[in-house]
């Protein structure tokens, strides 16, 4: 007698047939996402005539600069992000509520824009040094000049001021959800403020700090604009110059492969932080009550917390706004090429956002179907592989795409010749190649957002729809998509803005005579005409404010303190 089949868990969705079509689509998306890495390795093994020179004279210096940059930015982001998170969580002072979300504002400023702004602000003939010389009664820059911001130290400071919110977000969420009973027990044992932070709160927040620091370091590793503007020869800059200046694709691929070692190390740090973020609790933790500061201490806390916002957002934003207004007042802001670049940015970002959302929906929906059948290995692997592009610096992803794009064009030209048509480049150097790079780069944002949206939909709804005879596609269209609208809108906003800000992949894959706001700004900064790119930079920053506002509202709802 056959044993009875084990019952399905509560809320599981019985399916009459396997989701082969969805699973194949998800595997196809994952294969496309994996192709740049395989092509990168294939390109690297082809060898390069210039590799001995690169390995002897370029790679060691670039590797040292990159390591020092990562160490410096990591230390600075952890110090600023953790300190500001503890300040606005553990203490009550004037302006604390505004400061809690204002500390997120530097996320709206891309790294290359903050370098662009400060290079002009701190120029010997710029407004800051000119104002200081006026106050001191000095006429010539030769008699008074501040230290040059160009160099490794300046790059570390500027990147740290922009990237610390990654640590601030994760660490503050941990501080706000820690059990207040632990802190009360430490106080009852005589622990002071410093001991309370260093011996209780900080050890509990280490996993969150590690996750935020890993994200900040991945952004640092992928930076090209700020490092190049500030004269720091990093591995990312070396990949770009090796390909563009020396036209040495295998050499650029070999440097890119060496960068993957750092990427894997940073991802391992992030995974370790997530695995370690587990704490046992028998009761629901009571949120921490902030301690009210008195006298000068409360104003000192406000000044200390506002300093990263001032330097990381307000100063560059004010500079860009003033320069843009001056350009518009002088009649120099209405360049047709600038507005054409803005249109190109919106057009390409919109197309990439639509395709990225579609691909992310396929991956997340396939995983949902697989979870209903309790066969999630392949679907989970497809989702994880599909998100590899975000971990890769834009230059590495672009270099990895060059060979597959060439293969596609060669195969297509064989068919075109057979049809009696002239061969031409179809993807290489086209908007399609740029869109593909954007989709692969930001697919994890869309897939993660949709997956989080699915997690809020009870599996019982799927089961009810299936019991009424609805096919999986009908369940998706009639049940899930209406409920996923907030998650889809948030994911679309994040992908759209990140696409607008993307610089490295755009520089390498854009068509001839095709400019976006990011490349327009890069070109102006490269020739030293900083004021000419102010409008483009301001437009990018204004667009970047939208997801920061969304993130601030979501974070305030998530971690709202209990009223006192």
Tell me the per-residue pLDDT of 172-204, one tens digit each, with 9 for 90 and over.
877 776 655 566 666 666 666 666 777 777 777
Mean pLDDT of the residues in the chain: 81
Residues forming beta bridges with residue 504, ordered by sequence position: none
Question: Which has more confidence, 7 or 465?
Answer: 465
Q: Which of 41-55, 265-279, 439-453 has the highest mean pLDDT?
A: 439-453
The least confident of 172-186, 313-327, 451-465, 515-529 is 172-186
Q: How confident is the model at residue 9 (pLDDT cuts 50, 70, 90)?
A: very low
Question: What pLDDT shows up at residue 270?
Answer: 66
Question: Is 52 exposed, middle or buried, given 0-12, 13-18 or 19+ CB atoms closer than 10 A?
Answer: exposed
Q: Are 388 and 34 in contact (CB under 8 A)?
A: yes
Measured between alpha carbons, how far is 66 from 166 in angstroms, rounded to an integer? 20
Radius of gyration of the chain (CA): 26
Give the C-alpha separation, 422 to 424, whole Å.
6
Q: Are 122 and 162 in contact (CB under 8 A)?
A: no
Q: What's the mean pLDDT in 327-349? A: 81
Torsion of CA 494, 495, 496, 498, to 10 degrees: 80
> Domain coordinates of the chain in residue numbers?
17-38+332-413+423-526, 47-302
Where is pLDDT greater, at 470 or 164?
164
Which pLDDT band, with edges at 50, 70 and 90, does 531 fall under? low
Q: Residues 176, 288: contact at Cβ < 8 Å?
A: yes
Q: Say if CB 391 and CB 263 are below 8 A apart.
A: yes
Looking at residue 503, what DSSP letter applies? -
Instruction: Name the residue with higher pLDDT: 189 or 549.
Output: 549
Predicted pLDDT of residue 5: 44
Q: pLDDT tens-digit profile of 119-162?
A: 888 887 777 877 777 887 777 777 777 778 889 999 999 999 99
The span from the CA of 496 to the CA of 356, in Å, is 10
Q: How confident is the model at residue 477 (pLDDT cuts 50, 70, 90)?
A: confident
Confidence of residue 403 (pLDDT cuts 50, 70, 90): confident
The Cα 543–Cα 539 span in angstroms is 6
Q: What is the CATH number of domain 47-302?
A: 1.10.3720.10
What letters, b where the CB count within 10 A reaches 16 and e where it falls short, cover 533-554?
bbbbbbbbbebbbebbeebbee
Q: Which two tokens stand for residue 546?
A: 């939208």
Higher pLDDT, residue 16 or 335: 335
What stretch of H or E contains 370?
A: helix 336-373
Q: What angle do CA 433, 439, 445 make, to 5 degrees?
A: 160
Domains 17-38+332-413+423-526 and 47-302 belong to one CATH topology: yes
Quote the CA–CA distance of 442 and 317 in Å, as a whole number: 26
φ and ψ of 417, to 5 deg: -65, -40
Indicate the burial class of 344 (C-beta count within 10 angstroms; 0-12, 13-18, 19 or more).
Answer: buried
Handedness of CA 152, 153, 159, 160 (dihedral sign): positive
Among residues 100, 81, 229, 88, which one has the least CA distance to residue 162? 81
Q: Write down the pLDDT at residue 333.
A: 57
DSSP codes, 234-297 = -HHHHHHHHHHTT--HHHHHHHHHHHHHHHHHHHHHHHHHHHH-----SSPPPPPPPEEP-THH
**Distance of alpha carbon 80 from alpha carbon 160, whole angstroms:** 8
Residues with Cβ < 8 Å from 17, sequence gap 6 or more?
none
Q: Give the Cα separation of 526 and 524 in Å (integer).
A: 5
| Residues in a beta bridge with 92 | 292
- Region of poorest pLDDT, from 284-288, 362-366, 466-470, 504-508: 284-288
Q: CB-based contacts of 108: which residues, under 8 Å, 6+ apart?
A: 313, 541, 544, 545, 547, 548
Q: How confident is the model at residue 554 (pLDDT cuts 50, 70, 90)?
A: low
- Class level of CATH domain 17-38+332-413+423-526: mainly alpha
Which pLDDT band, with edges at 50, 70 and 90, does 455 fall under? confident
Element (H, E) at 92: strand 91-92
Nearest CA-CA partner of 257 in 94, 55, 49? 55
pLDDT level of residue 281 (50, 70, 90 thresholds): very low
Mean pLDDT of 547-559: 64
Query: Is the pLDDT confidence value at 529 over 80?
Result: no
How far apart CA 510 and CA 434 sit, in angstroms, is 6
Q: Which residues pair with 91 in a beta bridge?
A: 291
Q: Which of 145, 139, 149 is nearest to 124 (CA)?
A: 145
Residue 86 and residue 69: Cα distance in Å, rounded? 25
What ranges in 456-471 are assigned the alpha helix state H? 459-467
452 in Cβ contact with 487 (< 8 Å): yes
């Amino acid at each position: 007698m056959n044993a009875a089949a084990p019952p399905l868990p509560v809320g599981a969705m019985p399916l009459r047939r396997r989701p082969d079509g969805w699973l194949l689509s998800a595997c196809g998306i994952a294969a496309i996402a994996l192709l740049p890495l395989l092509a990168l390795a294939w390109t690297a093994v082809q060898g390069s005539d210039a590799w001995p020179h690169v390995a002897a004279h370029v790679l060691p210096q670039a590797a040292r600069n990159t390591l020092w940059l990562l160490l410096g930015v990591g230390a600075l982001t952890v110090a600023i992000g953790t300190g500001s998170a503890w300040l606005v969580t553990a203490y009550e002072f004037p302006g604390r509520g505004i400061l809690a979300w204002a500390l997120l504002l530097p996320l709206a400023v891309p790294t290359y824009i903050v370098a662009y702004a400060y290079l002009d602000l701190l120029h010997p003939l710029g407004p800051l040094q000119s104002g200081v010389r006026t106050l001191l009664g000095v006429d010539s820059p030769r008699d008074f000049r501040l230290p040059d911001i160009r160099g490794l130290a300046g790059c570390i400071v500027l990147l740290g001021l922009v990237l610390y919110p990654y640590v601030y977000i994760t660490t503050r969420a941990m501080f706000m959800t820690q059990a207040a009973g632990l802190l009360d027990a430490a106080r009852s044992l005589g622990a002071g403020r410093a001991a309370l932070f260093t011996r209780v709160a900080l050890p509990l927040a280490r996993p969150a700090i590690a996750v935020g620091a890993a994200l900040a370091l991945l952004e640092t590793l992928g930076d090209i604009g700020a490092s190049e503007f500030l004269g720091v020869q990093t591995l990312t800059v070396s990949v770009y110059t090796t390909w563009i200046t020396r036209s040495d694709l295998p050499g650029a691929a070999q440097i890119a492969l060496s960068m993957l070692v750092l990427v894997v190390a940073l991802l391992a740090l992030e995974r370790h932080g997530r695995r370690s973020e587990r704490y046992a609790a028998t009761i629901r933790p009571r949120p921490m009550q902030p301690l009210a500061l008195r006298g000068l201490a409360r104003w000192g806390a406000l000044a200390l917390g506002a300093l990263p916002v001032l330097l990381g957002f307000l100063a560059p934003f004010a500079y860009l706004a003033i320069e843009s207004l001056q350009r518009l007042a002088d009649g120099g802001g209405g360049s047709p090429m600038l507005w054409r670049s803005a249109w190109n940015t919106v057009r390409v970002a919109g197309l990439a956002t639509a395709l990225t959302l579609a691909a992310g929906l396929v991956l997340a929906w396939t995983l949902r179907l697989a979870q209903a059948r309790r066969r999630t290995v392949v679907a989970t692997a497809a989702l994880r592989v599909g998100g590899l592009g975000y971990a890769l610096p834009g230059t590495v992803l672009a270099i990895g795409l060059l060979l597959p794009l060439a293969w596609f064009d060669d195969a297509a030209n064989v068919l075109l010749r057979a049809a009696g048509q002239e061969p031409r480049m179809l993807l290489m150097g086209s908007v399609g190649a740029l869109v593909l790079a954007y989709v692969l780069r930001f697919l994890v944002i869309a897939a993660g957002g949709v997956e989080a949206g699915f997690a809020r939909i009870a599996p019982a709804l799927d089961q009810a729809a299936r019991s009424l005879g609805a096919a999986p596609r009908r369940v998706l269209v009639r049940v899930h998509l209406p409920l996923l609208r907030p998650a889809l809108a948030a994911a679309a906003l994040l992908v759209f803005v990140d696409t607008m800000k993307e610089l490295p992949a755009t520089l390498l894959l854009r068509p001839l005579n095709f400019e976006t706001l990011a490349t327009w700004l890069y070109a102006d900064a490269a020739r030293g005409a900083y004021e000419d790119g102010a409008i483009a930079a301001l437009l990018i920053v204004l667009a970047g404010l939208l997801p920061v506002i969304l993130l601030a509202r979501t974070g305030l709802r998530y971690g709202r303190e209990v009223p006192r």
